[in-house]
């Protein structure tokens, strides 16, 4: 009885740690987008990261059952995020807008998947890299376009 309670508490703590990590990663990535006034900012990137994490966590609950391939959910997250990303890409005159935001949403989903699989060092590196790339290359891009 006590072992069951401890085991359940460990599962809940693991879930909270994974979701908390996904939330922080999504917030960091989304903060840069929000700062730049992009359509998919803080909330969108955070929710994408959390959602991807939850789907992967759920699939991992069934990974040891016969005939179950838990990695299939990862591929479906990628496909689903593709549709979401397509919604922020617009063509205006001869210019395409929203491509970087769509790619950032895709990276937020990847962050959620990393959090769900407890790859925390990789998650920290990815989140930092996405923010640096968006900030640094956004600055360089604005200088080139002037």
Question: In tens digits, what is the pLDDT along the chain, a chain of 146 residues?
Answer: 777 677 777 889 999 999 999 999 999 999 988 888 887 889 999 999 999 999 999 998 888 888 878 788 888 888 888 888 888 888 778 888 888 889 999 999 999 999 999 999 999 999 999 999 999 988 887 778 77
Predicted model pTM: 0.87
Domains contained in the chain, number: 1
Instruction: Measure the CA–CA gap between 16 and 20, rounded to whole angstroms.
Output: 6
Chain center to CA of 18: 12
pLDDT at residue 31, rounded to an integer: 93
34 is in which domain, residue-wise? 2-145
Q: Which residues of 21-44 are buried (b: 16+ CB within 10 A; e: fewer)?
A: bbbbbbbbbbebbbeeebebbbeb
């Amino acid at each position: 009885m006590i072992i069951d309670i401890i085991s359940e508490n460990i599962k809940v703590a693991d879930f909270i740690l994974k979701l908390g990590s996904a939330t922080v990663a999504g917030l960091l990535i989304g903060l840069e987008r929000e700062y730049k006034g992009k359509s998919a900012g803080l909330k969108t990137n955070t929710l994408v990261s959390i959602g991807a994490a939850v789907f992967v966590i759920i699939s991992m609950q069934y990974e040891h059952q016969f005939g179950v391939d838990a990695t299939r959910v990862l591929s479906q997250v990628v496909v689903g995020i593709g549709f979401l990303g397509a919604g922020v890409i617009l063509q205006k005159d001869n210019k395409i807008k929203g491509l970087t935001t769509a790619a950032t949403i895709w990276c937020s989903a990847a962050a959620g998947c990393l959090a769900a699989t407890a790859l925390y060092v990789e998650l920290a590196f990815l989140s930092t890299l996405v923010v640096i790339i968006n900030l640094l290359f956004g600055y360089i891009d604005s200088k080139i376009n002037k």
